[in-house]
Structure 1
Amino acid sequence: MSKRYLISTSEFSEQSLTDLSLKHQNFLSWPLVYFLSENNKFEAYVGETTDLVSRMKAHLKSDHKKNLQSAHLISSDLFNKSATLDIESNLIKYIAADGRYQLQNGNLGIANHHFYQKKELYWDIFKDIWSELRTLGITRHSLEYIDNSDLFKYSPYKSLSDEQVAGLKMILKCLLDDRAKVSLIEGGAGTGKSILAIFLFKLLKTDTEDFNLTDFDENDLELFELFKKVKQQYGHLEMALVVPMSSFRKTIEKVFKGIKGLRSNMVIGPADVVKKKYDLLIIDESHRLRQRVNLGAYFGAFDQNCKALGFDKMTSSELDWVLKQANKSILFYDEQQSIKPSDVSAGAFKNLKQKADTRYEILKTQFRVKGGADYVKFIQGLFTEQNKALKPYAPGLNYESYLYECLDDMVNDIKLKDQQFGLSRLIAGFAWKWISNKDKSKFDIVIEDTKLQWNAVTVDWVNTPNAINEVGCIHTIQGYDLNYTGVIIGPEIGYDPISEQLIIHDQLYQDKNGKNSIKDPEILKSYIVNIYKTILLRGINGTFIYVCDPALRKHFKKFWRLKETVAQVKPLNLHSNKINGQCIPFYDLNIAAGSFSAYQQVENISFLELPDNLRTNPDLFACKIVGESMNKVIPNGSIALFKKYNGGSRNGLICLVESTNIYDKELGGQYTIKEYRSKKTQTDDSWVHEEITLHPLSTDEYFQPLVLRDEETIDLKVIGIFERVLA
């Protein structure tokens, strides 16, 4: 199949411009995308242009870009200006998160265009381009892998919403206003507060010459003018990003380490602000700044810092510290994510909001959960007592949400989702003691036949290898995004059907620092409710719920769709070695190369343990199937079982085939899985293939049959015959 684009590579230098002009004379005034790179410091720049020679000449005059050595030009007669802007923005987002190169690009002007055929055509072209860039060694990871990475989720190379742009303008104006000291940005879970904080930090650490003004729209130009004035007024800003929670702070440190112009030591904890004065402090998750309540081992350091700054330890907080140590402060805040008595009181933020030198903006639009505003309102309403207006939640095509009556079913479903999509985790309220912390043989959460342990680590738990077999809590999950979340609502919260009130069993709530010193039961209830609201808004694609308290479960049944109990599908176990006779080879088709006839010699294979009800034999193997081209039979993300092809008719069968004449963008190479059909013609002494058609079985009409004729059929090799979907 012919490609719909061309990637060509040449030297990036004054001497190469003539050669560049000759090689691309048909595209000199045509929209194209380019990637400039050097492989010493592994820096790069992504751009698009309709005037190739002029743009390259301009880059060669730049102090930063003239050190780049190679130019990779991506051209297509299908491109228009909108298409190249979109492909450019996707390349910036994904290359920045791939981790191989640090980009010299500024982060204003990242396009988020909507135009005819974008989904059907240009995104598919981008996926093809990305696969070829991996082949060329320019990029390393699959798009699916990057989508789940922290470097992508918290990248400063994002397209901002109108609300976020308004917030950014307010912040920049605040920096220019001598009468303004504080910018307070308020928004609920999933409204993009952390993204805006990181975007702003990268913006302020970028040189003006790193921006390509030709890509800017009116909003970008207005922001750029404000940004230039800030640069002129302040020059080099002494600044830091303050993240109160240690686990999330470690994650953002790793993100900063991978971004040009940023360093991990620019991300600090609240106690670090005592060490010096700053021009600007940006405080993410500022609702988790602490006051002198239930601090445990931190009491001593807290008191010393208060003394060093001249504050009364009994009346001051970390909020006071950051306000004193910074000429300007930007705080991102959500009152409903305050979860314990040590958090700075909501009253302190209300007082701050009312001050004459505070500027205020609110973010309302939900970006995290695909259930959107309807799901967020439902979660808020679910915990609003005596809410007569609350209606049952009906999950749509884009969001899965179920209430489970069997915890084991939910655990299995989360493990299956993790195998399919990654980043699926169990989260629970703090209703069980952490006994496995001292004795790894003990289980913390025991409900009927289900036995589980709390998270074994407290820092960046979400990304640890064994996280799928553990249960996280609010302290390990706040600030993070997940694909699917399985929430265990513990017995510390119940329901009184007579008064129609939520009730708290404080003796069952095990977070001592979360309840000690609280005398008003309603305050404890508000903290516990905030915890559940927060963790129920972590799942991007879906949220599953199990409720321990029978009365509360019965109440929730009125509003939540019950997950029907079906014949149980156990999650499949992968092993690095063949541990028993039920194990068969498991291949990643993005990695496997060469002949499957000697598949035991292919590197990077794992072994999948088949369920006991399936009989194994030496010809069986399994592959993970990515893509929608066979979704009528094999859903995207499924693990499929194949039997090695040993001869016989293949007509009408679903086959895994290999050929140099095909390129399947979904599997990223010369393998494809399709329904096999052939036409044969008779020669003097045999039958030969006249035409082989590989048919997709998809609900998406975009996927078309692959047709191989004559010589193209010669090297086609059937590797295996599809048996069934395993998971």
Structure 2
Amino acid sequence: MIETIDAFDFEITEFDFDSFALSEITKRNLYVSDLWPSVYILISNEVMEAYVGESANIVNRLKNHLTHIAKSKLNKVFLITSPSFNKSATLDIESNLIKYFDADERYKLLNGNAGLASQNYYQKSLYGKVFIDIWGRLQTQQVTKAEISKLNNSDYFKYSPYKSLTAEQLESVTTILELLVNRDKQSIFIKGSAGTGKTIVGIYLMKLLLTDISIYEDENLDEDTLYLLELVKRYKQKVPNPKLALVVPMTSLRDTLKKVFKGIKGLGAKNVIGPSQISDGNYDVLLIDEAHRLKRRKGITNYRSHDDMNRLLGFDEEGTELDWILKQSDNQLFFYDPLQSIRPSDIPKERFDSLLRQSANSLIELKSQMRVLAGVDYIDFVDRLLEGKLKEKELFVKNSQYQFYLFDDLAQMIGVLRKKEEKDGLSRLTAGFAWPWESRAKDIHDIEIQGLKLNWNRVTSNWINSENAFSEVGCIHTTQGYDLNYTGVIFGGEISYDPVKKEIIIKKENYFDRNGKAGVEDPEILKEYILNIYKTLMYRGIKGTYVYIVDKELRKYIGNHIMEYKYA
């Protein structure tokens, strides 16, 4: 039993990957000859591909790999051994190496993603520190290139199909595959609030279904993984060479995922499409991310292209993107959260409810919070705060892992956010659409608060990672679907509080998203959209959310429920 692990209590040894090297590995490494659990990396700098594995019988496993068509083309092996390793530790290190290798982008991974499940074990946090040291050593040996902290903030890491799934996520993947195997045509709903990992489940499934399962034929797999692969095999026997695509309604997120998919072996940018790109034949499976943002013909920017698509597919002008998807696919996986619908152009919840009623036993719910470190309690608190359901002066329970503060001084909030940006990165200022976007056409500022002059995001695609993102203010359309470390949220003049009725109210004249209110006559519907916008913004921050409020009455109300920032 160990209480601490020496940071250098492991070895990384390089060998040629061929039959002659196997006996040399046995001679030179005690832990290999004694069948100690170890981790290994196979690489080729000619084809720039890699494979990561672990085994207690390294030599036998490498012999098997030498007979595998794809793996035998790799020519170097890096063996990671330690007297402190146990089976749980090596499985965890293997899993971490796979997802960080993918994000590092130096090599394309041959690994499939079946069996990558997150598990706890004794002293896991200590082995997490050992992994950081292993990664650093691999950097010095020029096997990897980027720092862990940089990779953690990258889109390639956040949207990796090699993420270790939680038990809940893995169960949902298994259920989806069982439904695909046992039914011919259906709509499956994967429902969950922001941060429950819906997108990760979708991307994991895409990789799993598009990976040649022969990549696993020389591996020893556990029963759960074997069952998962058996389901994939049965589906592909039922539908050889299935035609799949990930449909992403939001342009910015779609562009980001195209870039991520381009770097993954077996996937490509062509696997990520917009709703208007599904006219090219029938799909066996469409996975629809952020399905609540599918559009109808109301308050959209391009009526002509929408009408052209309806005519092409045989619909009148009332046809919607949801109709297109249902017609052009046999199976649909809707990754869905009705509380993130933010515009009148979004398909109404009632339409999804009707479809869901027709899809017996096809609802899968994700409940665990995977983004916000404050967990489900924070999500529930924000929801009740904006719905006016909190008890008088009820405060969010202080959480050592999460910073949640109200600011009276916007400059101070931006200053704190800047320090977080310098330390952790991905710290952004966001706001509700309470100011017109005038800088788009003129060289002027958009927002002025307390003497501070600010501008909306200058770019609409991948603003989160753009060069000047920190000095700009992101709107809902450039932040929805993305993770941030810290989020500053400005509540604008379109949202206030009525202390007599004790409820949040909306001032329509101060709401400047033209398409966000087009054709909305019912004030309660507009209120629902705007509340959903602020909830969605407040769910972005992994480590913290900072709030500034323009309206005095709303500030009084929220000030009774969020602690004020008091630090210098």
Q: TM-score, normalised by structure 2?
A: 0.96
Amino acid at match of 2:517: K
Structure 1: distance between partners of 2:222 and 2:471: 47
Structure 1: distance between partners of 2:380 and 2:498: 23
Cα shift at 1:236? 1.4
Cα shift at 1:99? 0.7
Verify the 8 A CA contact 1:170 1:359 in the aligned structure 2: no
- 1:396 pairs with one of 392, 395, 399: 399
Amino acid at match of 2:193: G
Residue correspondence of structure 1 range 23-422 to structure 2 within 5 A? 23-28=28-33, 29-120=35-126, 122-211=127-216, 216-296=221-301, 298-314=302-318, 316-356=319-359, 359-385=362-388, 387-388=390-391, 391-422=394-425
Structure 2: distance between partners of 1:357 and 1:396: 40
Structure 2: distance between partners of 1:38 and 1:428: 47
Q: Aligned residue for 1:522?
A: 524
Amino acid at match of 1:346: K
Verify the 8 A CA contact 2:61 2:219 in the aligned structure 1: no
Structure 1: distance between partners of 2:184 and 2:7: 62
Is residue 14 from structure 1 mapped to residue 19 from structure 2 by the alignment? yes
Verify the 8 A CA contact 1:213 1:221 in the aligned structure 2: no
Amino acid at match of 1:90: N
Structure 2: distance between partners of 1:453 and 1:434: 8
Structure 2 stretches of 5 or more lacking a match? 1-5
Structure 2: distance between partners of 1:216 and 1:523: 51
Change (3 A) 1:214 1:80: farther
Q: Aligned residue for 1:542?
A: 544
Deviations 1:187-212 (A, max 9, x none): 11000000001000000011112237
Residue correspondence of structure 1 range 535-684 to structure 2 within 5 A? 535-564=537-566, 566=568
Structure 2: distance between partners of 1:507 and 1:103: 53
Cα shift at 1:228? 2.0
Deviations 1:320-374 (A, max 9, x none): 1111111111110000000000001101100110114671111111111011111
**Partner SS state of residue 417, structure 1:** helix
Verify the 8 A CA contact 2:31 2:83 in the aligned structure 1: no
Amino acid at match of 1:516: A
Amino acid at match of 1:549: D
Structure 1: distance between partners of 2:562 and 2:427: 20
Cα shift at 1:179? 4.7
Verify the 8 A CA contact 2:438 2:446 in the aligned structure 1: yes
Cα shift at 1:385? 2.8
Structure 1: distance between partners of 2:448 and 2:512: 15
Q: Aligned residue for 1:498?
A: 500
**Partner SS state of residue 19, structure 2:** coil
Cα shift at 1:16? 2.3
**Partner SS state of residue 123, structure 1:** helix
**Partner SS state of residue 557, structure 2:** helix
Change (3 A) 1:444 1:64: same
Amino acid at match of 1:183: I
Q: Aligned residue for 2:3?
A: none
Is residue 435 from structure 1 mapped to residue 435 from structure 2 by the alignment? no
Amino acid at match of 1:145: K
Cα shift at 1:20? 2.5
- Which deviates further from its counterpart, 422-431 or 2-11? 2-11
Verify the 8 A CA contact 1:184 1:331 in the aligned structure 2: yes
Between Structure 1 and Structure 2, the one with more helix by share is 2
Q: Aligned residue for 1:720?
A: none
Q: Aligned residue for 2:458?
A: 456
Structure 2: distance between partners of 1:147 and 1:339: 29
CA RMSD, 1 decimal: 1.6
Amino acid at match of 1:302: H
Verify the 8 A CA contact 1:429 1:473 in the aligned structure 2: yes
Verify the 8 A CA contact 2:39 2:79 in the aligned structure 1: yes
Cα shift at 1:390? 7.6
- Which deviates further from its counterpart, 127-136 or 157-166? 157-166
Structure 2: distance between partners of 1:430 and 1:92: 40
Cα shift at 1:434? 0.8
Change (3 A) 1:357 1:306: farther
Structure 2: distance between partners of 1:32 and 1:426: 45
Amino acid at match of 1:398: Q
Structure 2: distance between partners of 1:158 and 1:332: 18
Amino acid at match of 1:561: M
Cα shift at 1:276? 2.3
Amino acid at match of 1:419: E
- Which deviates further from its counterpart, 85-94 or 19-28? 19-28
**Partner SS state of residue 406, structure 2:** strand
Structure 1: distance between partners of 2:554 and 2:7: 59
Structure 1: distance between partners of 2:123 and 2:182: 44
Structure 2: distance between partners of 1:56 and 1:116: 29
Indicate the percent of aligned positions where both proteins have the same amino acid.
Answer: 45
Verify the 8 A CA contact 1:399 1:541 in the aligned structure 2: yes
Amino acid at match of 1:79: F
Verify the 8 A CA contact 1:179 1:357 in the aligned structure 2: no
Change (3 A) 1:356 1:553: closer
Cα shift at 1:401? 0.6
Structure 1: distance between partners of 2:311 and 2:521: 29
Which of structures 1 and 2 has the larger relative contact order (alpha carbons within 8 angstroms, sep 6+)?
Answer: 2
Change (3 A) 1:445 1:230: same
Cα shift at 1:530? 0.4
Q: Aligned residue for 1:596?
A: none
**Partner SS state of residue 7, structure 1:** strand
**Partner SS state of residue 17, structure 1:** helix
Cα shift at 1:86? 1.0
- Which deviates further from its counterpart, 400-409 or 161-170? 161-170
**Partner SS state of residue 36, structure 2:** coil
Verify the 8 A CA contact 2:406 2:548 in the aligned structure 1: yes
Verify the 8 A CA contact 1:181 1:357 in the aligned structure 2: no
Cα shift at 1:83? 1.2
Cα shift at 1:443? 1.1
- Which deviates further from its counterpart, 235-244 or 209-218? 209-218
Between Structure 1 and Structure 2, the one with more strand by share is 1
